Structure 1
Amino acid sequence: MRSTPRTEAFPAHTPAAAQIFTTVLSHGPLTRSDMAGRAGLSAAAVTKAVRPLIEAGYLVEHVDDEARPSLGRPANPVRVDGGRALFIGVKVTGDEIIAVLTDLCCRIRAARHLPLAARDPKAVLASIASLVHELLAEADGFGVQVQGLGVAVSGDVDRAAGDVRFSPFLEWRDLPLAELVEMTTGLPVTVDNDVRALTVAEQWFGAGVGLSDFAVVTVGAGIGCGLVVHGKVVSGAHGVAGEIGHVVVDPTGPPCHCGNRGCVEAIAADPAIVTAVRETTGRPVADAAQALELAHRGDPGARQVYARAGDAIGRAIATVANLLGPERVIISGEGLAAYDLFAEQIRDAFAVSAFGTAARCDVLTRPLPFDEWARGAAATAIQSFISGPNLGKG
């Protein structure tokens, strides 16, 4: 049996130090003057923040003796030492658990997948513990400690409390998941909604780097949306900001599990598409893969279902653009396997529904495997390590 992992406190003792480190993490290497400009801090504040981070090995300064200027402080670029710390991210779906080991720059070093035999919390906790211990053994080979664990779950998640209030795919209610996983693994744990976790990874390490306002819309088993407003991932006063899956786009449409009719999720999520393809074609399609295959073979009924789904997604994206005016909307999720079937409808519905200059929003498709969702969970653990567990309360 493994001993309890040892963790250390991150040496950023002020919000300015955390801000500087995050800036270098996302944009580096940077000189001190670059840091000051990006963070809006004085040169003295930057120097004070950087010194302990370099001394502790989290930042590395590249000194070029040949390029050293004759006067003043050298403008040496500073970067994050990604190998200084390791993190684990876990994504729990209704069918499997995916776990990844990442470095401090959120680069995946190892990955594990485990089918979910049962969805009750006890069984899931045992599976999480098994994968985490495998990755801790992998971490031993790097000679660096794992400093935190992030867990991403669909549904209504209270990150600050570490609780899953409701997860429809897992059928969990009011589960203190962070506390339970901490007891099981001995690691500091951050629990967040899976789409918000993916949004953190996109903000710090992906297609959202450098953007003040953007959204991530995920299409698949459900329809999700992560929002970044003025540089912060927003969860809202009640933790459910971004629930565009339950925006009604057709009041006479099919019933949704939330109790309304014609929600985006009731039209465009994988289970809704499978049901609609069965009803439209009369064929006994078992899952999303079979529905997709039927549409790709040219079945007109199946293609009509996907076209309707694209229209709903396009309207939902336009709603986000109209409300928030983001610079970019990133579309991702396993449902992008069908993108060729509804891309035109997404574009057309967005163009019709976006108001005025909201239509200038850059709509970017970014297919990401589930390993990347687990990486998003690791990103939340990195975020908590740097800035404390209360970051992201939104």
Structure 2
Amino acid sequence: MERPNSLSAVLHEIRLAGPIARIDLARRLGLSSAAITKLTARLLAANLIQEVGHAPSAAGRRPILLALNGEAFFVIGLDLSWQGLRGAIVSLDGRVLTDRKETRNLFEEEDDREIVGTLVSHVEALVRESGVDRGRLLGVGLVAPGAVSWHQGRMVAPTPPTMSLTRSIRRRPPFDWSHIPLAEELQARTGLPTFVDNNANAAAVAETWFGQHRGAKNLAYVAVGGGIGAGLIINGEPYRGDRGVVAEIGHTTVQVDGPPCRCGNVGCLELFASTVALLDEARRLITEGKAEALGDLAAWKGNLDQLTVEAVYRCAYQGNPACGELVERQVAYLGAGLVNLVNMLGCSLVVLGSREISFPMLEWLCEKVTALVRERAYAAAARYVEVCPSRLGADAFILGAATLVLHPFFDAPERVMGRAA
């Protein structure tokens, strides 16, 4: 028997579990062998899936394995941040193909025509450089930090990165983006369906599609960088809230009489747990004449602006006490934020991701944070909490942008099936 949306269910299952035999698809989805044969025949005819060999068998005929045809269609992901703009052509199976970056900070622009024009030019350059047939492009996904109106396709309020506490506080970005219908403008200019979302929300989805927690139904993704952001997956779907502002863990208060934050609050978590805060403390020690105590970091004394988070982490990992104290301070605050998150949401899986921290150092950070969370979180939940490093790295955001287009495609593949055959 075939149920409504069975075609979508089969395609999703092949994406998650492929290569997979028809008999296993039938068992996992609760469909008859006849229904599976009919549905997979349609997907094969549309070139969305492929037969890729045979499964081992103790006796009898070996079942044919089915896998997603990653190059049936492609999508464009755009990752807009305060460090610049990154775009990529992404296959259906999550491979980042043509990759393009520019360091220009669009959040400093004050002309909406210039902003949209730059994004359109980036898309067109990607299409040109990739050589992909435009008819095989499903759409564009754009992610950015801060509040995003998913339904309107607009950025409500881009979140500025944490500034050093020694620098002046600016309450908001220099230009109001909320009036720019980004999705509408990009779609009109490129001819491609366009979707816009918060970058941490999208990264959370990417983890469940392409990360080591593929298929996870409940997950919190926490991005550790110049700010601290989070994205939530609840019952298999991203949670976006009512106004596009959700899981802003970086702007939860951890010091009621703390320093002012650019968001307008005081004592925000990211003022103490962000990579900006970590580097701020390292530079302060160096300028106060304590560079020698920081071991290898002493070499950065004449070039403080180039000091990296990775350098601080490696120095601490190698056993330097002063650097170790800096990292432990960050862990204490980050752990406190995650304890609050776990206690409020009851999530047992937290994934930490970062553009700036390498996987080995992120793995080390997770070990420290996990111990703290298990010690301090509500006892009934603490024993089950797992804080894991993301293996996607900076690609989590570009892949997350891609899922904004991939999700509706996999939910209704029949809309475009004729184009791939």
**TM-score for both structures, normalised by structure 1:** 0.82
Structure 2, unaligned stretches of length 5 or more? 161-172, 289-300, 414-421
Cα drift, residue 56 of structure 1 = 0.9
Going from structure 1 to structure 2, the CA distance change for 1:220 and 1:167 (only over 3 Å counts) comes to same
Deviations 1:157-212 (Å, cap 9, x if unpaired)? 12222111110236543131111211222211111111111112111111221322
Q: What is the aligned partner in structure 2 of residue 326 from structure 1?
A: 347
Q: What is the aligned partner in structure 1 of residue 197 from structure 2?
A: 192
1:149 and 1:133 mapped to 2: Cα distance? 11
Q: What is the aligned partner in structure 2 of residue 34 from structure 1?
A: 24
Going from structure 1 to structure 2, the CA distance change for 1:143 and 1:193 (only over 3 Å counts) comes to closer
**Matched residue of 2:177: which SS?**
strand
1:193 and 1:28 mapped to 2: Cα distance? 29
Identity among equivalent pairs (%)? 27
2:53 and 2:398 mapped to 1: Cα distance? 36
Q: What is the aligned partner in structure 1 of residue 399 from structure 2?
A: 375
Structure 1, unaligned stretches of length 5 or more? 1-12, 390-394
Cα drift, residue 34 of structure 1 = 2.5
80, 100, 122: which one pairs with 1:92? 80
2:103 and 2:55 mapped to 1: Cα distance? 54
Q: One-letter code of the match for 1:100? A: A
Q: One-letter code of the match for 1:346? A: V
375, 393, 400: which one pairs with 1:352? 375
333, 343, 349: which one pairs with 1:312? 333
Q: What is the aligned partner in structure 1 of residue 297 from structure 2?
A: none
Q: What is the aligned partner in structure 2 of residue 76 from structure 1?
A: 64
Cα drift, residue 316 of structure 1 = 1.9
1:59 and 1:155 mapped to 2: Cα distance? 37
Q: One-letter code of the match for 2:258? A: G
1:41 and 1:246 mapped to 2: Cα distance? 47
Contact 2:19 2:67 in 1 (8 A): yes
**Matched residue of 2:238: which SS?**
strand
Corresponding residue pairs, total: 375
Q: What is the aligned partner in structure 2 of residue 243 from structure 1?
A: 248
**TM-score for both structures, normalised by structure 2:** 0.77
Cα drift, residue 250 of structure 1 = 2.6
Q: What is the aligned partner in structure 2 of residue 57 from structure 1?
A: 47
Q: What is the aligned partner in structure 2 of residue 182 from structure 1?
A: 187
Q: One-letter code of the match for 1:360? A: Y
2:91 and 2:280 mapped to 1: Cα distance? 42
Q: What is the aligned partner in structure 2 of residue 366 from structure 1?
A: 390
Going from structure 1 to structure 2, the CA distance change for 1:65 and 1:310 (only over 3 Å counts) comes to closer
Contact 2:21 2:55 in 1 (8 A): no
Going from structure 1 to structure 2, the CA distance change for 1:343 and 1:216 (only over 3 Å counts) comes to closer
Cα drift, residue 49 of structure 1 = 3.9
Over aligned residues, Cα RMSD in angstroms?
3.5
1:359 and 1:260 mapped to 2: Cα distance? 33
Q: One-letter code of the match for 1:350? A: V
**Matched residue of 2:50: which SS?**
strand
